[in-house]
Chains A and B, each alone.
Chain A
Amino acid sequence: MYHYNDFDRDFLAERNAQFRAQVERRIDGSLSEDEFKPLRLMNGLYLQLHAYMLRVAIPYGTLNSAQMDQLAMIADKWDKGYGHFTTRQNIQYNWPKLRDVPDMLDALGEVGMHAIQTSGNTIRNVTADHFAGAAADEIEDPRPVAELLRQWSTDHPEFQFLPRKFKIAVTGAEQDRAVTKAHDIGLRMVRNDAGEPGFEVIVGGGLGRTPMVGKVLRDFLPKADLLPYCEAIVSVYNLLGRRDNKYKARIKITVHENGIDEIRRLVEDRFALLRPEFSGVDQEMLAGIEAQFAPPAFTQASVAPFKAAYHENPAFRSWVDTNITKHRNDDYAIVSISIKKHGDTPGDATSEQMRVMAAITREFGHDELRISHEQNVILPHVHKSHLPQIYARLRDADLATANIGLISDIIACPGMDYCALATARSIPVAQKIATRFDALKLEHEIGQLKIKISGCINACGHHHVGHIGILGLDRAGVENYQITLGGDGTETAVIGERAGPGFAYDEIVPAIERLIYAYLDLRNDAEETFLQTYRRLGMAPFKSALYPEKEAKNAA
């Protein structure tokens, strides 16, 4: 993985010193809140309902054990002993004090981490496939390109005051695990007819109040053209994007209002101007970055201990069947550590759990961890012979829940328990759904199902692309939850369809239960997933299950 050089370290130290001075000037009254707010946001510091919140970037979701240990230290020293992993592969601390934040940023800097551009109208943390470099279906590891984009976009002088925030996601695999079609720019690695790797460039996707699936701007972009092409897109948007209306300022609206063909024409014109300005330094830097992302030295050993444990221990077998993904190396496995224990807060890990995961990867995982946009932690490279020991250690730390991809593996934004923008709570809804289906012992019977919950229309919880999406709203001073069905965040992306009127806080879990029982009745067989059944039958039977009174009235 990428290691900071002197330039990175100096840049970060200078930036942190600047912010320390800005905090001092705010406290001594030289800066008003109006002056200070954009400065703190540029450094990832929000003010939420009950406290400040510091959002730390985990670039493309990759970190090593020393970084995870440092995140745990920060949680203990300046927060309440835990951190919240987010849908953009970041970590948020919910309780920092203003005076402590400069020290927290310095502590992050010690391990090559920062909170720069985790807020504001800038290019945000570049996200990537959390199985990058390990997945069996990958053309190339997308992270060197993500790192190049991070370096290019960080403090880019032209792009510090965009019309609105700007999010880039990149994947090197056929299966889209990075939700590229719901990003301002989505990059999917593909091969051209000559077999050379390049990118399909998708633009104008996004969720929020106006959800849109991104459109293809270029079928094939050679790798070497990536930076000038992205620069062309962002600079066209910078001029054309609407600054008169915050709700129409994202590039998805720019694309929608101008049409993809006009955007393509403008981008290609701009690209023609910019391309000669790139002398190839970026490609030299990329080569240097790529060398740092070389695959680990895979261990050669017998997988017999794994096979024996799999045969003997049913709990281990269930965990393996649910939480393990095929690695490109047959003797290896990708482990998804569930941060979704039934009844716990999705994405929250204690400092002790962070240290356990750091220790495991230091010993068994080639010192790498990933944060997934689904708010879980990944061990990307594990030799199968080590799986029984890893499982035992995870179990002791309450981290061995076998529910990846199942009904309790819920994405939930912080909602009104923390967020100042939220209109309803998300976390307790996720907790209750998980606890309920665990009690019913139906989770594995139900199979693959993605529930995603947002506590407001901004859709941080990705509800539009949940197979079942839940959106919490404030209806006349009461929490109300709308259900959408049939959403999909993968390469076959679809925005979910609203099922009907919303449900009160104490009605939402029973409503989900009716929906699930309807699915179990309707599916062709156990192999047909919820999404497949929905696609086959459409909304009607699920609507009847959700609104039985209406059904009864119609029949009468």
Chain B
Amino acid sequence: MSKPFSPKVVTANDLLEGDVVYLAADDTWVRDLQDAEIIEDEAIADLRLLDASAQSDVVVGVYLIDVIRDEAGLQTTHFREEFRTKGPSNYNHGKQVELS
């Protein structure tokens, strides 16, 4: 049996700013993971990745990440993606200040 599908979010980096962005349901790109579209179906995930790839004039390097939903909201499952939601750990540069 294949593994059950885990929820996904489309992510990329903004072309001009270079920062981390997530695809929202209305095809815009948002800075906060909490505003991202959660994709619950594998076929839709593939379609949304294609939609996102078509926006190459706005973003660079689109891919899908695994997420889980808990009381605190959307969470990434891999530490690399967790760092991308926050910014570097040595300075308060990046998302941890921009989003607060």
A binds B: yes
Measured between beta carbons, the chain A residues less than 8 angstroms from B20 are 49-50
Q: Does A42 contact B (CB under 8 A)?
A: no
CB distance from A66 to the nearest CB of B (A): 28
Bound-state CA distance A504–B23 (Å) is 33
Q: CB within 8 A of B17: which of A26, A27, A80, A97?
A: A97
The answer on a CB contact under 8 Å between B15 and A417 is no
The answer on a CB contact under 8 Å between A427 and B19 is no
Closest to A430 in B: B90
Closest to B94 in A: A50
Bound-state CA distance A313–B13 (Å) is 52
The answer on a CB contact under 8 Å between B15 and A98 is yes
CB distance from A342 to the nearest CB of B (A): 14
With contact pairs A33-B60, A97-B16, A97-B17 given, residues A49 and B90 touching in the complex (Cβ less than 8 Å): no
Q: Does A289 contact B (CB under 8 A)?
A: no
Bound-state CA distance A51–B60 (Å) is 11
The answer on a CB contact under 8 Å between A27 and B18 is no
With contact pairs A52-B18, A427-B90 given, residues A477 and B56 touching in the complex (Cβ less than 8 Å): no
CB distance from B66 to the nearest CB of A (A): 10
Q: CB within 8 A of A32: which of B17, B56, B84?
A: B56
The answer on a CB contact under 8 Å between A345 and B18 is no
Q: Does B78 contact A (CB under 8 A)?
A: yes
Q: Does A457 contact B (CB under 8 A)?
A: no
Can you list, as one digit per residue, whether each of A462-489 has a CB less than 8 Å from chain B (1) or not (0)? Answer: 0000000000001001110000000000
Q: Does A195 contact B (CB under 8 A)?
A: no
The answer on a CB contact under 8 Å between B89 and A33 is no
The answer on a CB contact under 8 Å between A33 and B83 is no
The answer on a CB contact under 8 Å between B18 and A417 is no
Measured between beta carbons, the chain A residues less than 8 angstroms from B17 are 51, 97-98
With contact pairs A97-B18, A345-B90 given, residues A47 and B13 touching in the complex (Cβ less than 8 Å): yes
Bound-state CA distance A460–B43 (Å) is 39
CB distance from A46 to the nearest CB of B (A): 10
The answer on a CB contact under 8 Å between B16 and A27 is yes
Measured between beta carbons, the chain B residues less than 8 angstroms from A60 are none
Determine the interface band of chain B, counting residues with CB < 8 A from chain A.
Answer: 20 to 34
The answer on a CB contact under 8 Å between A418 and B88 is yes
The answer on a CB contact under 8 Å between B93 and A95 is yes
Can you list, as one digit per residue, whether each of B71-90 has a CB less than 8 Å from chain A (1) or not (0)? Answer: 00000011110011001111
Bound-state CA distance A425–B82 (Å) is 12
Can you list, as one digit per residue, whether each of B1-23 has a CB less than 8 Å from chain A (1) or not (0)? Answer: 00000000000010111111000
The answer on a CB contact under 8 Å between B60 and A47 is yes
Count chain A CB atoms within 10 A of each CB in B13, B17, B18, B94 and give the residue with the most. B18
Closest to B80 in A: A416
With contact pairs A417-B89, A417-B90, A428-B89 given, residues A50 and B80 touching in the complex (Cβ less than 8 Å): no
Q: CB within 8 A of A49: which of B16, B56, B60, B83?
A: B83
CB distance from B4 to the nearest CB of A (A): 17
CB distance from B59 to the nearest CB of A (A): 9
Closest to B93 in A: A80
Can you list, as one digit per residue, whether each of A404-424 has a CB less than 8 Å from chain B (1) or not (0)? Answer: 000000000000111000000
Measured between beta carbons, the chain A residues less than 8 angstroms from B88 are 50, 94, 417-418, 427
Can you list, as one digit per residue, whether each of A206-226 has a CB less than 8 Å from chain B (1) or not (0)? Answer: 000000000000000000000
Kindly identify, within residues 8 to 43 of chain B, every residue whose CB is under 8 Å from any CB belonging to chain A: 13, 15-20
Measured between beta carbons, the chain A residues less than 8 angstroms from B57 are 29
Closest to A425 in B: B89
Closest to B79 in A: A479
The answer on a CB contact under 8 Å between A50 and B56 is no
CB distance from A39 to the nearest CB of B (A): 14
Measured between beta carbons, the chain A residues less than 8 angstroms from B15 are 26-27, 98
CB distance from A255 to the nearest CB of B (A): 34
CB distance from A268 to the nearest CB of B (A): 45
The answer on a CB contact under 8 Å between A477 and B60 is no
Q: Does A99 contact B (CB under 8 A)?
A: yes
Q: CB within 8 A of B18: which of A50, A80, A478?
A: A50
Q: CB within 8 A of A47: which of B18, B56, B93?
A: B18
Q: Does A431 contact B (CB under 8 A)?
A: yes
Bound-state CA distance A428–B57 (Å) is 35
Bound-state CA distance A17–B56 (Å) is 24
The answer on a CB contact under 8 Å between B89 and A50 is no
Q: CB within 8 A of A427: which of B16, B56, B89?
A: B89
Closest to A34 in B: B56
Enumerate the 4 nearest inter-chain pairs by beta-carbon distance, A residue then B residue, closest first.
Answer: A417-B88, A52-B18, A51-B18, A29-B57
User: What is B's interface to A at a CB cutoff of 8 Å?
Assistant: 13, 15-20, 56-57, 60-61, 77-80, 83-84, 87-91, 93-95
Task: Please list 21 pairs of residues, one from A and one from B, whose beta carbons are closer than 8 Å in the complex, sorted by A's number.
Answer: A33-B60, A47-B18, A47-B60, A47-B61, A48-B18, A50-B19, A50-B20, A50-B88, A50-B93, A51-B13, A80-B91, A94-B88, A95-B18, A97-B16, A97-B17, A345-B90, A427-B89, A427-B90, A428-B90, A474-B79, A477-B77
